[in-house]
Amino acid sequence: MNGENLKQQRIGVIGAGVMGCALIKGMLAAGLLKQENLWAVVATATSQKRIGDELGIPVYRALPHDEIALTDTFLICTKPYRVLGVLAELKQSRALKPGALVVSIAAGTTIQQIEQALPDVPVIRAMPNTPSLIRAGVTVLAAGSHARDEHTAVAQDIFQSVGKVWQLDERHLDAVTAVSGSGPAYIYLILEALADGAVKVGLPRDIAFQLVSQTMLGAAMMVQDTGKHPATLKDEVTTPAGCTISALLTMEDGRIRSTLARAVEEATRTAAGLGNK
Ligand SMILES: NC(=O)c1ccc[n+]([C@@H]2O[C@H](COP(=O)([O-])OP(=O)(O)OC[C@H]3O[C@@H](n4cnc5c(N)ncnc54)[C@H](OP(=O)(O)O)[C@@H]3O)[C@@H](O)[C@H]2O)c1
């Protein structure tokens, strides 16, 4: 990541909650932007004070019309049901710079919905995840019909400051939402369940969490670093008549694979409906 595309940018983050703050912190930590080139909007006075104090950037409780006219990129990070209202306000302001970019991270809100609300505006839809908070996130970007390479480059720099970035056609974004957007929650549940097992057989819970989470990290890195199929890696640790195969067959009895795969399918269906609520 070189971040060159952000050097000249002024960015407004509309909705500085969990994800909005993660992105602001990532960009600042990566040294890609200075505080004076960032501003944010929240709804409540409590968040306004907390985030202003913590991040040292101007935080507003309504769209700041003076700032809009100076802003190159708007990062829309409100809950999905608020996005169209925010876009309508941006349009009504009549202050958008020509070529200003809108990047939305809202699940289920389509590029078409955003382009209808803001005709002719370059749009990028992004789906990050919460490990962005520790700069270990995954983001998938999809470009709208007016987005050019320089717009995608800006979005790449923003999200690379908090993790890894891929670009896909928008038709995949509900699936991405279900896999990597919601994915950390599935992993936490599996982690907790394995730790429960460890506690049941006598390990202290804090040790159990450390052992399981480090095992998950190591196994994920094995998949990434070796490029081997997970089934091959699984077979390599499964000794005939050993304890690993005992555990694996117990998991298969509980239909673990189809349960996890169907969960992703169900989450994809839900994600597709979020922009309409
Ligand atoms: N969390 C995830 O795992 C995740 C992953 C990928 C994508 N997303 C997407 O990220 C978006 C934000 O999720 P989140 O978890 O960060 O939500 P969140 O923590 O609830 O943050 C929402 C933020 O929006 C602010 N807000 C509310 N109404 C507003 C308005 N009218 N104008 C401007 N700001 C307003 C809230 O202000 P207050 O703090 O004052 O209430 C809050 O700062 C969602 O669209 C979600 O689909 C989330």
pLDDT value of position 32: 84
What pTM does this model have? 0.93
277 C-alpha vs ligand 1 centroid, how far in Å?
15
Domain boundaries, the chain: 4-175, 183-275
CA nearest 82: which of 99, 52, 50, 105?
Answer: 105
Residues near ligand 1 (Cβ within 6 A) = 14-20, 41-44, 47, 77-80, 82, 86, 105-107, 127-130, 181
C-alpha 149/C-alpha 197 separation (Å) is 49
Q: What is the pLDDT of residues 149-168, one digit of tens each?
A: 999 999 999 999 999 999 99
57 C-alpha vs ligand 1 centroid, how far in Å?
18
C-alpha 144/C-alpha 2 separation (Å) is 24
* Class of domain 4-175 (CATH, top level): alpha beta
One CATH from 1.10.3730.10, 3.40.109.10, 3.30.1330.40, 3.30.1280.10 for 183-275: 1.10.3730.10
Pairing verdict, β 73-76 and 11-14 = parallel
What mean pLDDT is predicted for residues 86-95?
94
Mean pLDDT of the chain: 95
- Name the DSSP letter for residue 145: T
What mean pLDDT is predicted for residues 18-45?
93
pLDDT value of position 277: 60
- CA distance to 56, 152, 269, per residue, from 168 (Å): 34, 12, 19
